[in-house]
């Protein structure tokens, strides 16, 4: 059993290598006592030393004990207005305007299997491992609000999840002004915070800051998880490296507005919270109604960041991604976007497809511009009717021609958006978010459809179903190309509910589409990686990582992405040079090596590359197949940071039979120092042959002694080095 309950009040969640503990004290406050390396379930509440702290008051149950204050205790559910002045998770507003939320332990139950959240993604049980669930009910002292805290345990994976459900069991309506999903209080020690921040075309750069008394906060109020701040964070002991130190991950399973903050309190406790952003959030819970907050995936590693990443990669790959393509090899694709942009016709597409098919590419993806009036990005969104004139025939005919070449066929959609210059907008202007009496903000000259409305979703489902059932389509790139604002629903929901209901609407449409087309491969996208989050992986096992296809910039984007998200989730393509985003020219081979660390494809017209590069395409595709198991299900090791003069990473398969090291030089120097590398993840006792020199040494020697390259590669040059394990005798 991964969930141990002692004395009906002490809850210890055990994973293979970590423990999480809570204790409902004599006043029924649910204390957080521990999260970290595995312990043996003794009550660690005794580590909490209380004191009479000035200006930190005492709840009535303290009965004169001036040392008992909610303002100083580590808690599972800090709430508003009852004397904890730190960050709260639940904020209520009662009918009389008061905001007190005084939650006390009421009961618990332990359930087999992992829990589901209505209308939202969550980790699920697979054939190999089932989770266990602990549900703790907390009752509000003076109202009829009950909070149910859900804890899921995946023992083997070293993962613990948390989610929150707020129920109104009374008659009076109550406003929920804030409802975060998770609070982690660290009573002792210093911590650093790693966040993944950026912008369009430069997502998920790693930032690391010490956590002090000044609050560190990230979040999004853009209606999407965003390019700017990824909904995932790592807290770690100072000095933690890839291989050493304690680190804790928090990863939100949500694609809408979110907040994460970490701050040290007056006595040194560090509180980290995560959940839906409280800005423009307010749900009115009437009698019998409930609100579900999204899941947070927690994981701890006592052996550094690489281990933490492996734990996230595995759980997301095996318990979040679903459908056929969770396990089936992803097709090597060619996307026409950077090859043609909007300027294509059937002839051009077939020429790209024909060349690609001859070189071993397995799928053509037709990007933006095939529907409605859409020859640039100013019109047509919402009019999901095939532009047969532009395509010189039906989509079915085009799809069949592609299939006849032995390739699959994929299609781009941007379902959540509407152009003002579209028939859909002319017919239903109220389907777009805009506030009566105000001009809406435009972004890429488009508006956002109100996905909280059933009729909007029905329209989109009908249109997409029509297109996907008429033409032979194997893949959909689901795009979303602007931030949301001007929140006002003509569908009747109050503004405080719309951001969340909008995202629930997106999930609903995705779910229903996949129910109808279970074999479809979805690739998520939002101007590249603007919605690269765990929740989207529930629907699309791969996500276009960034609109930036420059192989050198990609080193840092893919490096930052790798802390939480598996390589199989990373859409990564070889594109033309000079690169369309940066103007940089990087050798074809290097572009291939970088794209191999992802779900692989091309984004250029192969009729316009040299014969030699075409040969390299064949070689790259052969490598993709040869190393698929390593790159897509193996363990991923960051061997360096991306900012130095070289960037290197490695994949090691589960049996430790093979390791593939990739190295890219990011700059050149005169009289260069030699390049030395240490491999990771090998079996120390096994002999491995290095493809570079042919030398055979033990895994221990390769990992500790490493190898020095006999020459220094030039700027932007790259290498793949394979370490093959010799037969074990």
Helices (H), 517-568: 534-537, 551-561
* CA distance linking residue 219 with residue 521, whole number of Å: 30
Yes or no: say if 523 and 475 are a contact pair by the CB < 8 Å rule: yes
Both tokens assigned to 263 = 């701050």
Give me the DSSP letters along 101-124.
--EEEEEEEEEES---BTTB----
* Beta carbon nearer to ligand GLA, 158 or 526: 526
292 is catalytic: no
Q: How far is the CB of 470 from ligand GLA (least distance, A)?
A: 22
* Beta carbon nearer to ligand GLA, 231 or 369: 369
SS (H, E, C) 585-623: CCCHHHHHHHHCCCEEEEECCHHHCCHHHHHHHHHHHHH
Interior/surface letters 216-250, b for 16+ CB within 10 angstroms, e for the rest: bebbbbbbbbbbbbbbbbbbbbeebebeebbbbbb
Residue 127: φ, ψ to 5°: -60, -30
**Binding segment (CB under 6 A) for ligand GLA, from list 468-476, 520-528, 561-569, 626-634:** 520-528
* Beta carbon nearer to ligand GLA, 530 or 541: 530
**Which residue out of 533, 547, 550, 603 is catalytically annotated?**
533
Task: Give the other-Cβ count within 10 Å of 608's Cβ.
Answer: 11
Q: How far is the CB of 698 from ligand GLA (least distance, A)?
A: 45
Per CB under 6 A, 544 contacts ligand GLA: yes
* Beta carbon nearer to ligand GLA, 524 or 560: 524
Residue 256: φ, ψ to 5°: -105, -155
* Beta carbon nearer to ligand GLA, 387 or 614: 387
**Binding segment (CB under 6 A) for ligand GLA, from list 29-37, 188-196, 504-512, 521-529:** 521-529
Among 296, 487, 504, 525, binds ligand GLA (CB under 6 A): 525
Residue 47: φ, ψ to 5°: -75, -15
**Binding segment (CB under 6 A) for ligand GLA, from list 291-299, 379-387, 522-530, 686-694:** 522-530
Q: How far is the CB of 253 from ligand GLA (least distance, A)?
A: 23
Contact flags string 441-480 toward ligand GLA, x per CB under 6 A? --------------------------------------x-
Q: How far is the CB of 678 from ligand GLA (least distance, A)?
A: 36
Q: Which residue is nearest to ligand GLA (CB)?
A: 368
| Binders in 233-252 for ligand GLA, by CB under 6 A | none
* Beta carbon nearer to ligand GLA, 547 or 613: 547
Considering only CA atoms, which of 138, 156, 155 is closest in space to residue 147?
138
Per CB under 6 A, 337 contacts ligand GLA: yes
* CA distance linking residue 411 with residue 376, whole number of Å: 17
414 is catalytic: no
Q: How far is the CB of 527 from ligand GLA (least distance, A)?
A: 5
**Binding segment (CB under 6 A) for ligand GLA, from list 23-31, 39-47, 123-131, 525-533:** 525-533
**Binding segment (CB under 6 A) for ligand GLA, from list 417-425, 524-532, 619-627, 698-706:** 524-532
* Beta carbon nearer to ligand GLA, 231 or 528: 528
Yes or no: say if 217 and 261 are a contact pair by the CB < 8 Å rule: yes
Both tokens assigned to 349 = 């597409």
* Beta carbon nearer to ligand GLA, 362 or 523: 523
Residues that bind ligand GLA (rule: CB under 6 A) add up to a total of 12
Residue 273: φ, ψ to 5°: -130, 155
Q: How far is the CB of 534 from ligand GLA (least distance, A)?
A: 20
Among 121, 372, 410, 528, binds ligand GLA (CB under 6 A): 528
* CA distance linking residue 423 with residue 417, whole number of Å: 13
Token pair 């500790």 is found at 704
Among 76, 84, 203, 368, binds ligand GLA (CB under 6 A): 368
Q: How far is the CB of 342 from ligand GLA (least distance, A)?
A: 8
Among 203, 318, 367, 420, binds ligand GLA (CB under 6 A): 367
Helix (H, G, I), strand (E, B) or coil at 276: strand
Among 255, 295, 452, 481, binds ligand GLA (CB under 6 A): 481
Task: Give the other-Cβ count within 10 Å of 76's Cβ.
Answer: 26
Per CB under 6 A, 601 contacts ligand GLA: no
CB contact set of 46 (below 8 Å; sequence gap of 6+): none
* CA distance linking residue 96 with residue 79, whole number of Å: 18
* Beta carbon nearer to ligand GLA, 367 or 420: 367
**Which residue out of 603, 613, 653, 683 is catalytically annotated?**
613
Pairing verdict, β 10-14 and 232-236: unpaired
* CA distance linking residue 22 with residue 32, whole number of Å: 5
Interior/surface letters 389-416, b for 16+ CB within 10 angstroms, e for the rest: ebbeeebeebbebbeebebbbbbbbbbb
| Binders in 376-415 for ligand GLA, by CB under 6 A | 377, 412
Q: How far is the CB of 413 from ligand GLA (least distance, A)?
A: 10
Both tokens assigned to 287 = 């009698």
Among 59, 78, 527, 681, binds ligand GLA (CB under 6 A): 527
* Beta carbon nearer to ligand GLA, 248 or 412: 412
Q: How far is the CB of 367 from ligand GLA (least distance, A)?
A: 5
Residues with a known catalytic role? 533, 613
Binding site for ligand GLA (CB under 6 A): 337, 367-368, 377, 412, 479, 481, 525, 527-528, 544, 547
């Amino acid at each position: 059993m991964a969930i141990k309950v002692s004395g009906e009040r002490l809850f210890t969640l055990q994973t293979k290598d970590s423990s999480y503990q809570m204790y409902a004290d004599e006043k029924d406050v649910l204390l957080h006592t521990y999260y970290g390396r595995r312990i043996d379930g003794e009550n660690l509440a005794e580590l909490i030393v209380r004191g009479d702290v000035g200006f930190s008051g005492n709840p009535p149950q303290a009965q004169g004990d001036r040392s008992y204050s909610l303002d100083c205790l580590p808690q599972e559910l800090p709430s508003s207005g009852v004397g904890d002045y730190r960050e709260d998770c639940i904020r209520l507003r009662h009918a009389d305007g008061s905001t007190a939320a005084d939650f006390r332990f009421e009961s618990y139950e332990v359930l087999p299997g992992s829990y589901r959240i209505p209308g939202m993604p969550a980790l699920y049980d697979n054939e190999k491992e089932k989770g266990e669930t602990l549900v703790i009910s907390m009752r509000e002292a003076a109202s009829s609000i009950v909070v149910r805290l859900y804890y899921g345990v995946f023992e083997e994976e070293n993962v613990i999840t948390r989610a929150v459900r707020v129920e109104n069991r009374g008659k009076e309506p109550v406003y929920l002004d804030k409802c975060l999903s998770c609070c982690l209080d660290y009573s002792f020690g210093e911590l650093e915070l790693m966040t993944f921040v950026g912008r369009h075309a430069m997502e998920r750069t790693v930032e690391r800051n010490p956590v002090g008394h000044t609050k560190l906060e990230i979040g999004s109020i853009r209606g999407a998880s965003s390019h700017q701040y990824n909904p995932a964070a790592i807290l770690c002991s100072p000095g933690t490296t890839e291989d050493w130190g304690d680190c804790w991950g928090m990863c939100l399973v949500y694609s809408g507005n979110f907040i994460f903050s970490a701050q040290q309190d007056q006595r040194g406790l560090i509180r980290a919270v995560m959940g839906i952003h409280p800005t423009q959030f307010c749900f009115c819970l009437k009698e019998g109604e409930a609100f579900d907050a999204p899941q947070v995936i927690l994981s701890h590693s006592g052996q550094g960041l690489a281990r933490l990443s492996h734990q996230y990669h595995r759980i997301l790959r095996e318990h979040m991604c679903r459908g056929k393509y969770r396990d089936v090899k992803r097709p090597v694709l060619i996307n026409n976007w950077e090859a043609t942009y909007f300027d294509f016709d059937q002839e051009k597409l077939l020429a790209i497809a024909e060349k690609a098919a001859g070189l071993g590419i397995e799928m053509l993806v037709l990007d933006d511009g095939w529907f409605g009036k859409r020859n640039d990005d100013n019109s047509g969104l919402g009019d999901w009717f095939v532009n047969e004139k532009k395509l010189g025939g039906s989509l079915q005919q085009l799809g069949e021609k592609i299939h006849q070449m032995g390739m699959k066929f994929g299609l781009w959609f941007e379902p959540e958006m509407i152009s003002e210059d579209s028939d859909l907008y002319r017919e239903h202007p109220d389907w777009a978010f805009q506030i009566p009496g105000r001009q809406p903000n435009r972004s890429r000259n488009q508006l956002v459809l109100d996905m909280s409305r059933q009729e909007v979703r029905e329209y989109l489902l009908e249109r997409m179903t029509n297109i996907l059932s008429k033409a032979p389509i194997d893949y959909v790139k689901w795009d979303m190309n602007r931030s949301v604002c001007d929140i006002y629903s003509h569908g009747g929901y109050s503004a405080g509910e719309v951001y969340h209901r909008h995202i629930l609407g997106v999930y609903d449409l995705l779910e229903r589409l996949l129910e109808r087309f279970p074999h479809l491969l979805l690739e998520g996208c939002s101007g590249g990686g603007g919605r690269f989050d765990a929740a989207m992986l529930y629907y699309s096992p791969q996500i276009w990582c960034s609109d930036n296809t420059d192989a050198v910039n990609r080193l840092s984007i893919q490096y930052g992405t790798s802390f939480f998200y598996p390589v199989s989730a990373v859409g990564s393509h070889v594109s033309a040079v000079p690169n369309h985003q940066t103007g940089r020219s990087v050798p074809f081979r290097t572009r291939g090596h970088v794209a191999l660390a992802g779900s692989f494809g091309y984004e250029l017209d192969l009729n316009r590359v040299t014969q030699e590069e075409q040969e390299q395409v064949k070689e790259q595709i052969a490598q993709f197949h040869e190393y698929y198991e390593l790159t897509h299900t193996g363990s991923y090791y960051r061997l360096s940071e991306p900012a130095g003069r070289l960037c290197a990473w490695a994949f090691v398969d589960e049996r430790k039979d093979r390791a593939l090291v990739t190295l890219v030089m990011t700059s050149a120097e005169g009289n260069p120092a030699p390049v030395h590398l240490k491999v990771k993840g090998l079996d120390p006792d096994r002999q491995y042959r290095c493809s570079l020199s042919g030398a055979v040494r033990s895994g221990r020697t390769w990992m500790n002694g490493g190898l020095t390259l006999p020459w220094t590669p030039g700027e932007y040059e790259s290498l793949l080095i394979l370490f093959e394990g010799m037969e074990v005798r």
